[in-house]
Amino acid sequence: MHWLYLAVAVLFETIGTTALQASQQFSRLGPSVVMVASYAVSFYLLALTLRVMPVGVVYAIWSGLGICFIAMIAYFLFGQKLDFPAIVGMVMIIGGIAVINLFSNTTTH
């Protein structure tokens, strides 16, 4: 169940960060409310995940996936482009998450 909590926490963090960009520095009420609510849900689910998994691993997965998802959303919704080194860095982040999940005894399977 903790993996589901973590996955949904990443989803809500991604929604919150997208809403943060759409809020235009908190000048639009709707996206600002969505951002606050999304981060609240994300942090709650993150806290539930921390009951079972170590904080370093949870945060690496949560933030790493959030970075990659936000970059993709920013490309499609906001027209923000990434250069080759940024893309390579994000591929390395995904690779690091895979190494943690596949080979580390720190995570619970």
pLDDT digits (tens, 9 = 90+) for 69-102: 999 999 999 999 999 999 999 999 999 998 988 8
The conformation of residue 37, written as its DSSP 8-state character, comes to H
0.75 exceeded by pTM: yes
Q: How many domains does the chain have?
A: 1
Q: Which domain holds residue 77?
A: 2-103
Domain annotation covers residue 80 = yes
Residue 87 CA: distances (Å) to CA of 32, 35, 58? 29, 26, 23
pLDDT digits (tens, 9 = 90+) for 45-75: 999 999 999 998 899 999 999 999 999 999 9
pLDDT value for 96: 92
Domain annotation covers residue 34 = yes
Domain annotation covers residue 59 = yes
CB 36 within 8 A of CB 51: no
Domain annotation covers residue 108 = no
Domain annotation covers residue 37 = yes
Domain annotation covers residue 109 = no
